C-alpha cells in the first residue's frame, strides 16, 4: 500500500505536448506509472511517448478512465487546467507549474475542495510511491528505492537530494510527496500527515520544511496531538536574512514568525527528531528506527 | 513583490473611488511650491517622502507646512534625505485634514487558511505590530462569496464607527476588496484611515502587487522596487538572484537546495554573497548566463551545488566550462563544484579536467569553497 497513488493510478498529463510534459511523461512511464492520456487543446489525434493526446480532459477521462492529473501548462492557464480536470471528475491533481498567482490558486483550492478533489502543489515535484511503481510528477526516478520511510517536503531538488541520501544509506521510501513552495498550496503538512499515520507501510516520516509561513508550526501542533509514528524534520533557510525573497514566494520571514528557529523549536517540542543539516537525516532516521525497534 | 509608493497606491485608490485628501506629487522644491500656488494643494499641508520603508513620521520624512516658505523648506529638507538607505526622489503634498480619529485597515492573505484576511483596528496611526492582538479584528473572506455585508458591519463594530461614517466605511471596504482581487494585491493597507467629518479618508496607502501576477499588470512593469542592478538584470532573465553581504557566490538548483547550501556554508564559516537559483533549467544557455551574471557580482569564490535529476550532470558541467572561458581573466575566481545525480561521473571528470575542484561530499566541498574564498571568518 502507499499514500494517494498506487498501481491503479491512471494519469492524464495536461500540457503533454510541451517540453516538460514530454520529458516527464517518458520519466513517469519509465518509473512504471500508467500514463494513459495527454491533453493539449487543439492537438488531439497525435501520440506522445505512445500516449494518446486529447483536446479535453473530459474526453481523456471518458476514453481512458484516467483518475489523476498532472499539470504542466504555463501559469496563466493553470487555473483553467485545474477547473477542467476537476469538472471532468479527476479527484487528484498535481500541479508542477510555478509562478501561478496566488489569487488564482485561492480559487483553485476552494473549487477543488468544494468538489472533494485534492490538489498537490503548485510549484511542486509531485508524488511517488516506489513500491507501487506509481509517480505523478517530476521527482527523478533514480533517487528512489522501495521501503518504509514516508517523505513530505516543501522543496524540490532538496527533496531529491534527501531521498537520494536515504537510498544511499539503504533506507527505502513508501511514498514521497512534494507539497510545493508557494504561499497557497493545495496540500500542507497537516493535510498529508494523517495519510502516513494511516499507511501500514510507513514506519517513519521525514519532514522537509522551509522558512516562511507557519505550516511547520502547525504540523508540530498536529504531531503533538495526533501523530504516533516517529518524525525526523529538517528546515532549510536558517541563514536567510529577514525579508529577502529566497526564490520561493513563500519563503519570506515576516515579523519574527516563520523563521527556521521558530519551526525547529516547535517540532522539537512536539517530539520530532530535528536535523541541523540535510546530510544528518539518514543517520538520524536509522537511529530513530533502531530506538523504536523497527529495524 | 511589487511594492508601490504611496502616491502610486493612491492613484489606484482614486480609480476605485476611495476617498483621499487633495494632493499631488512633486520632485523638486520648486514643483512643491507650484503645487500650492497652482491650487492643487491647499495650505496648511503635509509633505511626505515617497519611500517604501515605514516609520516615516519618526524619521523626519513627513513634515507640515502652513506657508509657501515652509513648503519650500520642508521639500528641500526631505528631498535631501536618505531614508533607511533609500534616496528620496519624490514627495507627496496633501491637504491637512481635521482628523477626528485614526484607524487601521488591511487586506492580505492568510496562507494557513487559504483565505483573504481583513484586519481592522481602532488603534490606527501606529505600527500594527505594536497593537495588541485583542485590539485587532480579523475577518476571513471566502474568495467565492466576496466580502459580505454582515462582515462589513462586523468590521465597523471593531472600528467603533456608526451612522454616516459606517456608511462611508461600507463603501470603502467594498472598494478595497475589489482592488485586492482585481489588482492581484498581496497587501492593501491603510494606516491611518482617518475619520474626517461624516466619512473616512485614506491618509496613507500601502499596496503590494504579487510578482507572479505581473503578466496581468503591464502598468507596473517600470517599478524597480528595492532590487539591486544585478538583481534587476537577473529578474529579466528569470533567474532567482539575491545579493547578500558576504563574499562567496552560491549557485544551486531549486530554492530549498539553495537555502540548505547557504545554511551549510555559514556553518563552516563561509559568508554567502550571492544566492543564485538556477531553478529547474536544463538549458546550457541559461547556465552560462547565470554564471556570467555571478561573475559580475565579483565573488571571492563560487560554490556550485547541483542535484541533476532529469538534468544531466555532464550537460551542466559542459555549460559551466564554456561559461568560465567567457569570464575575462581579471574577473576569474576559484570555483568549487558539487554535482550529484544523473551522469555525475562524467560531469565530475569534465570539471576536474578544466581545473575545477569537484567533490561529492557536501561538507568537504563547502569547506573547500570557504578555503578558496580566504578561509573561515
Query: Can you give the residue ranges of every domain in chain B?
Result: 22-95, 101-220, 229-372
Average pLDDT, chain A: 93
From A27, A38, A1, select the one nearest A203 (Cα to Cα).
A1
Q: What is the count of structural domains for chain A?
A: 2
What pLDDT sits at residue A247? 53
Reply yes or no on whether the pLDDT at A252 is more than 60. Answer: no
Please check whether residues A237 and A191 belong to one and the same domain.
yes
Which residues of chain A lie closer than 8 angstroms to B252, CB-CB? 157
Residue with cell 468590521: B155
Does pLDDT of A254 surpass 70? no
In this structure, the answer to whether residues A55 and A189 fall within a common structural domain is no
For residue A63, is it within any domain?
Answer: yes
pLDDT in tens, B226-262: 667 787 788 777 788 888 888 999 988 888 898 899 9
B 86-115 residues with CB < 8 A to A: 109, 111-112, 114-115
Nearest to A239 among B184, B257, B263 (CB): B263
Q: Grid coordinates 517540532 are at which residue?
A: A267
From A59, A87, A120, give the residue that closes a domain: A120
Report cis status (omega within 30 of 0) of the bond before B44.
Answer: yes
| A50-72 average pLDDT score | 98
Termini Cα distance of chain B: 33
| CATH superfamily assigned to domain B101-220 | ATP-grasp fold, B domain (3.30.470.20)
| A246·B266 Cβ contact <8 A | no
Residues of B in contact with A154 (CB under 8 A): 256
Report how far residue B253's alpha carbon sits from residue B240's, in angstroms, rounded to the nearest whole number.
Answer: 10
From the list A156, A250, A278, the residue facing B254 with the nearest CB is A156
Same fold: B22-95 with B101-220 = no
pLDDT at site B225: 60
* Range name among A135-139, A144-148, B77-81, B131-135 with the lowest pLDDT average: B131-135
CA-to-CA distance for A203 and A250, rounded, in angstroms? 30
**Mutual orientation of helices B6-15 and B163-182 as an angle, nearest 10°?**
100
Q: Are residues A200 and A263 in the same domain?
A: yes
> Of residues A157 and A112, which shows the higher confidence score?
A112
Catalytic residue among A110, A145, A225, A248: A248
pLDDT band of A258, cuts 50, 70, 90: confident
* A130 found inside a domain: no
User: Mapping DSSP to helix (H, G, I), strand (E, B) and coil, where does residue B116 land?
Assistant: strand
Amino acid B282: pLDDT: 60
State whether A84 and A189 are in the same domain: no
Q: Is A18 on the interface with B (CB under 8 A)?
A: no
Q: Are residues A30 and A150 in the same domain?
A: no
Q: Compare B145 and A254 and report the one with higher pLDDT.
A: B145
Which of the residues of B are catalytic? 104, 189
Number of A–B residue contacts, CB under 8 Å:
169
SS3 B27: coil
Long-range contacts made by residues B28-31, C-beta under 8 angstroms, separation at least 24?
B28/B75, B28/B79, B29/B72, B29/B75, B29/B76, B29/B79
Least Cα separation, residue B280 to chain A (angstroms): 8
Question: Touching check for A74 and chain B: CB below 8 Å?
Answer: no
A149 and A100 both lie in a single domain? no
Grid cell of B12 as nine digits: 489606484
Q: Are B277 and A248 spatial neighbours (Cβ–Cβ below 8 Å)?
A: no
- Would you state the torsion angle of the CA atoms of residues B260, B261, B263, B267, taken in this order, to the nearest 10 degrees? 140
Q: How many CA atoms lie within 13 A of A238 on its CB side?
A: 17
Q: What is the crossing angle of helices A189-197 and A215-226, to 10°?
A: 30
The H or E element spanning position B200 is: strand B199-202
Q: pLDDT tens across B265-298, in order?
A: 999 999 988 888 887 666 677 778 888 888 888 8
Residue B376, all three cell numbers: 573561515
Q: Which residues of chain B have pLDDT under 70?
A: 224-227, 280-283, 310
B117 burial via Cβ count (<10 Å: 0-12, 13-18, 19+) = middle
Interatomic CA distance for residues A92 and A112, integer angstroms: 9
Among B114, B242, B362, whose Cβ lies nearest the Cβ of A244? Answer: B242
| Interchain proximity A279–B362, CB inside 8 Å | yes
The reply to whether ipTM tops 0.95 is no
Active-site residue, A226 included: no
Residue A127 domain flag: no
Residue A236 near residue A208, CB atoms below 8 Å:
yes
- Of the residues B255, B273, B281, the best mutation for testing chain A's interface (the one with the most A CB atoms within 10 Å of its CB) is B255
Choose the closest CB to A106 out of B143, B244, B280: B143
Is any Cβ of chain B less than 8 angstroms from the Cβ of A278?
A: yes
Q: Say if residue A148 is in the same domain as residue A93.
A: no
Tens digits of per-residue pLDDT, A176-194? 999 998 999 999 999 999 9
Query: Are B185 and B210 a contacting pair, CB within 8 Å?
Result: yes
- What SS3 class is residue A106? helix
Task: Kindly report, residue by residue over A83-96, the tens digit of the pLDDT.
Answer: 999 999 999 999 99
Provide CATH code, domain B22-95: 3.30.1490.20
Which of A98, A168, A247 is the mutation pick for testing B, counting most B CBs within 10 A?
Answer: A247
Q: Is the pLDDT of residue A242 over 50?
A: yes
Domain of A164: which CATH number? 3.40.50.261
Using only the alpha carbons of chain B, give its radius of gyration. Answer: 26
Contact A155 B341 (CB under 8 A): no
Report pLDDT for B288. 82
* A43 and A113 both lie in a single domain: yes
Q: What is the CATH number of domain B229-372?
A: 3.40.50.261
| Cα A104 from Cα A102, distance rounded (Å) | 5
Domain contains A157: yes
Q: What is the CATH number of the domain that holds A44?
A: 3.40.50.720
Domain enclosing residue A19, as ranges: 10-120
Q: Is B7 helix (H, G, I), strand (E, B) or coil?
A: helix
Burial of B218 (0-12, 13-18, 19+ CB in 10 A): exposed
What's the gap in Å between the CA of A288 and the closest CA on chain B?
22
Q: What is the pLDDT of residue A253?
A: 46
How close are the terminal C-alpha atoms of chain A, in Å?
19
Reported as a single tens digit per residue, the pLDDT across A10-24 is 999 999 999 999 999
Q: Are residues A106 and A145 in the same domain?
A: no
Residues A52 and A178 in one domain: no
A23 and A148 assigned to the same domain: no
State the nearest Cα–Cα gap between B267 and chain A, in angstroms.
Answer: 9
Rounded mean pLDDT, A263-275: 96
Mark whether A97 and A149 lie in a shared domain: no
Question: Is A252 inside any structural domain?
Answer: yes
d(CA B264, CA A22): 35
Predicted pLDDT at B234? 81
Comparing alpha-carbon positions, the chain A residue that sits nearest to B243 is A244
Average pLDDT of A32-38?
A: 98
Question: What residue ranges in A154-188 does DSSP mark as E strands?
Answer: 173-178
Query: Which chain B positions have a beta carbon within 8 Å of A251's beta carbon?
Result: 255, 259
- What 3-state DSSP class applies to A260? helix
C-alpha cell of A126? Answer: 509531485
What are the residue ranges of helices labelled H in chain B? 6-15, 29-37, 68-79, 149-159, 163-182, 229-236, 255-267, 284-296, 313-326, 344-353, 362-372
How many angstroms separate the CA of residue B24 from the nearest CA in chain A? 31
Q: With a CB-CB cutoff of 8 Å, which residues 326-355 of chain B face chain A? A: 340-342
**In terms of pLDDT, which residue wins out, A113 or B128?**
A113
For chain A, percent of residues with pLDDT exceeding 70: 93
Q: Tell me the chain B residues in contact with residue A249 when contact means C-beta distances shorter than 8 Å.
A: 210-212
Please spell the DSSP secondary structure of B134-176, one letter per residue.
GG-EEEE--TTT-S-HHHHHHHHHHHT--HHHHHHHHHHHHHH
CB contact under 8 A, A183 and B111: yes
**Beta strands per DSSP E along A190-272:** 204-210, 231-236
Amino acid at each position: 500500500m502507499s499514500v494517494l497513488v498506487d498501481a491503479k493510478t491512471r494519469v492524464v498529463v495536461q500540457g503533454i505536448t510541451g517540453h516538460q510534459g514530454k520529458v516527464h511523461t517518458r520519466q513517469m512511464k519509465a518509473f512504471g506509472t500508467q500514463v494513459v492520456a495527454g491533453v493539449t487543446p487543439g492537438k488531439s489525434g497525435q501520440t506522445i511517448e505512445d500516449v494518446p493526446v486529447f483536446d479535453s480532459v473530459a474526453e481523456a477521462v471518458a476514453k481512458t478512465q484516467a483518475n489523476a492529473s498532472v499539470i504542466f501548462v504555463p501559469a496563466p492557464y493553470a487555473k483553467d487546467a485545474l477547473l477542467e480536470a476537476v469538472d471532468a471528475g479527476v479527484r487528484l491533481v498535481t500541479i508542477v507549474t510555478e509562478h501561478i498567482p496566488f489569487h488564482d490558486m485561492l480559487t483553485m483550492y476552494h473549487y477543488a475542495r468544494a468538489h472533494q478533489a485534492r490538489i498537490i502543489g503548485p510549484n511542486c515535484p509531485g508524488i511517488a510511491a516506489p513500491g507501487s511503481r506509481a509517480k505523478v510528477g517530476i521527482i527523478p526516478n533514480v533517487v528512489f528505492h522501495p521501503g518504509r520511510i514516508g517523505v513530505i517536503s516543501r522543496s524540490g531538488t532538496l527533496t531529491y537530494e534527501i531521498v537520494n541520501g536515504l537510498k544511499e544509506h539503504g533506507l527505502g521510501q513508501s511514498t514521497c510527496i512534494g507539497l510545493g513552495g508557494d504561499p497557497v498550496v493545495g496540500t500542507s503538512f497537516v493535510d498529508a500527515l494523517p495519510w502516513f499515520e494511516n499507511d501500514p507501510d510507513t514506519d517513519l516520516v521525514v519532514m522537509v520544511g522551509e522558512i516562511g509561513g507557519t505550516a511547520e508550526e502547525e504540523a508540530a501542533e498536529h504531531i503533538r496531538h495526533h501523530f504516533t509514528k516517529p518524525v525526523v524534520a529538517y528546515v532549510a533557510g536558517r541563514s536567510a536574512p529577514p525579508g529577502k525573497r529566497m526564490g520561493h514566494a513563500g519563503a519570506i520571514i515576516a515579523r519574527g514568525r516563520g523563521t527556521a528557529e521558530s519551526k525547529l523549536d516547535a517540532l522539537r517540542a512536539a517530539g520530532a527528531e530535528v536535523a541541523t543539516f540535510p546530510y544528518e537525516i539518514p543517520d538520524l532516521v536509522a537511529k530513530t528506527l533502531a530506538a523504536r525497534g523497527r529495524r | 513583490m511589487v511594492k508601490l509608493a504611496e502616491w502610486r497606491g493612491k492613484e489606484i485608490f482614486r480609480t476605485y473611488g476611495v476617498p483621499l485628501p487633495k494632493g499631488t506629487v512633486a520632485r523638486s522644491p520648486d514643483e512643491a511650491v507650484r503645487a500650492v500656488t497652482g491650487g492643487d494643494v491647499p495650505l496648511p499641508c503635509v509633505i511626505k517622502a515617497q519611500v517604501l520603508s515605514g516609520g516615516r513620521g519618526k524619521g523626519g520624512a513627513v513634515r507640515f507646512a502652513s506657508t509657501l516658505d515652509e513648503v519650500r523648506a520642508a521639500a528641500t529638507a526631505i528631498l535631501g534625505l536618505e531614508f533607511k538607505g533609500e534616496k528620496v526622489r519624490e514627495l507627496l503634498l496633501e491637504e491637512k485634514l481635521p482628523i477626528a480619529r485614526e484607524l487601521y485597515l488591511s487586506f492580505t492573505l492568510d496562507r494557513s487558511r487559504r483565505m483573504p484576511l481583513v484586519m481592522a483596528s481602532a488603534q490606527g496611526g501606529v505600527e500594527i505590530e505594536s497593537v495588541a492582538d485583542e485590539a485587532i479584528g480579523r475577518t476571513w473572506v471566502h474568495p467565492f462569496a466576496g466580502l459580505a455585508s454582515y462582515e462589513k458591519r462586523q468590521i465597523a463594530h471593531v472600528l467603533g464607527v456608526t451612522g454616516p461614517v459606517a456608511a462611508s466605511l461600507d463603501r470603502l471596504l467594498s472598494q478595497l476588496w475589489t482592488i485586492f482581487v482585481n489588482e492581484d494585491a498581496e497587501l492593501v493597507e491603510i494606516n491611518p484611515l482617518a475619520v474626517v467629518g461624516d466619512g473616512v479618508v485614506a491618509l496613507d496607502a500601502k499596496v503590494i502587487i504579487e510578482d507572479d501576477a505581473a503578466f496581468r499588470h503591464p502598468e507596473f512593469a517600470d517599478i524597480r522596487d528595492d532590487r539591486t542592478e544585478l538583481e534587476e538584470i537577473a529578474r529579466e532573465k528569470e533567474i532567482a538572484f539575491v545579493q547578500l553581504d558576504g563574499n562567496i557566490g552560491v549557485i544551486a538548483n531549486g530554492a530549498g537546495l539553495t537555502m540548505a547550501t547557504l545554511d551549510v556554508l555559514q556553518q563552516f564559516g563561509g559568508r554567502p554573497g550571492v544566492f543564485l537559483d538556477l531553478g529547474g533549467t536544463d538549458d546550457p544557455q541559461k547556465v552560462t548566463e547565470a554564471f556570467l551574471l555571478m561573475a559580475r557580482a565579483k565573488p571571492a569564490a563560487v560554490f556550485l551545488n547541483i542535484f541533476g535529476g532529469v538534468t544531466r550532470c555532464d550537460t551542466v558541467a559542459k555549460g559551466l566550462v564554456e561559461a568560465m572561458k567567457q569570464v575575462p581573466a581579471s574577473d576569474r575566481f576559484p570555483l568549487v563544484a558539487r554535482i550529484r545525480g544523473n551522469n555525475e561521473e562524467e560531469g565530475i571528470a569534465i570539471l576536474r579536467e578544466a581545473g575545477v575542484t569537484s567533490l561529492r561530499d557536501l561538507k568537504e566541498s563547502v569547506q573547500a569553497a570557504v578555503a578558496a574564498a580566504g578561509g573561515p571568518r
